[in-house]
Amino acid sequence: MTINEAQDAVIEEFSDFTDWMDKYQMLIDLGNELEPLDEQYKNEQNLIDGCQSRVWLQCDEKDGKLVFTSDSDALITKGIIALLIQVLDNHTPQEIIDADLYFIDKIGLRQHLSPTRSNGLLSMVKRIKAYALAFSLK
Options 3, 6, 51, 96, the catalytic residue: 51
Q: Comparing C-alpha atoms, which of 106, 89, 78 is closest to residue 13?
A: 106
Q: Cα–Cα distance between 54 and 124 in angstroms, integer?
A: 11
* Range among 32-41, 44-53, 87-96 rated most confident: 87-96
Question: Helices 3-15 and 20-33 meet at what angle, rounded to 10?
Answer: 130
pLDDT > 70 in the chain, percent: 100
pLDDT in tens, 33-48: 998 899 999 999 999 9
Res 33: pLDDT: 95
Specify the pTM: 0.95
Res 115: pLDDT: 86
Q: Quick count: other Cβ atoms within 10 Å of Cβ 124?
A: 23
DSSP conformation class of 58: E
Q: Cα–Cα distance between 97 and 91 in angstroms, integer?
A: 10
Res 36: pLDDT: 86
Q: Cα–Cα distance between 56 and 70 in angstroms, integer?
A: 5
Hey, which bits of the chain come out as E strands? 55-62, 65-72
Mean pLDDT of all residues in 73-96: 96
Checking if the pLDDT of 50 tops 90, the result is no
Type of residue found at 117: R
Q: 51 versus 106: which is more confidently predicted?
A: 106
pLDDT > 90 in the chain, percent: 86
Is there a contact between 135 and 60 (Cβ–Cβ < 8 Å)? no
Mean pLDDT of all residues in 90-104: 97
59: annotated active-site residue: no
pLDDT in tens, 113-136: 888 888 999 999 999 999 999 999
